[in-house]
Amino acid sequence: MSDAHELTILGICGSLRAGSYNKAALRTAVELKPPGMTIETADIGSIPLYNEDVRAQGFPPPVEKLRVQIAAADALLFVTPEYNYSMSGVLKNAIDWASRPPDQPFAGKPVAIMGAAAGMAGTARAQYDLRRSCVFLDMHPLNKPEIFIGQAQNKFDASGRLTDETARGLIGQMLVALAQWTRQIARKS
What is the tens place of the pLDDT at every residue in 94-121? 999 999 999 999 999 999 999 999 998 8
Task: Give dist(CA 176, CA 135) in Å, integer.
Answer: 22
Backbone angles phi, psi at 141, to 5 degrees: -65, 140
Whether residue 84 lies inside any domain: the answer is yes
In this prediction, residue 51 carries a pLDDT of 96
Is residue 156 domain-resident? yes
Q: CA-based angle 103:106:110, to the nearest 5?
A: 145
pLDDT for res 3? 66
Residue 2 belongs to some domain of the structure: no
Give residues with Cβ within 8 angstroms of 150, minimum separation 6.
117, 119, 120, 121, 122
- Please give the tally of structural domains in the chain: 1
At 1 the pLDDT is: 58
Is 61 domain-assigned? Answer: yes
How many residues comprise the chain? 189
Q: Work out the angle between the directed axes of helices 21-32 and 165-188 (0-180°, nearest 10).
A: 70
Identify which of 112, 187, 172 has the alpha carbon closest to the alpha carbon of residue 142. 112
**Within-domain flag for 22:** yes
- Global model pTM greater than 0.85: yes
Cross-strand pairs, 39:
9
The residue segments making up the domain with residue 105 are 7-188
Q: Is residue 1 part of a domain?
A: no
**pLDDT at site 5:** 83
Q: What is the pLDDT of residue 4?
A: 72
State the Cα–Cα distance between residues 100 and 104, nearest whole angstrom. 6
Phi-psi region of 34 (alpha: psi -120 to 50; beta: other; left: phi over 0): beta
Identify the CATH number of the domain in which residue 44 sits.
Answer: 3.40.50.360
| The pLDDT value given to residue 2 | 57
Inside any domain, residue 52: yes
Mean pLDDT by 10 residues, the chain (189 residues): 82 96 98 98 97 95 98 98 95 98 96 95 95 97 96 96 97 98 89
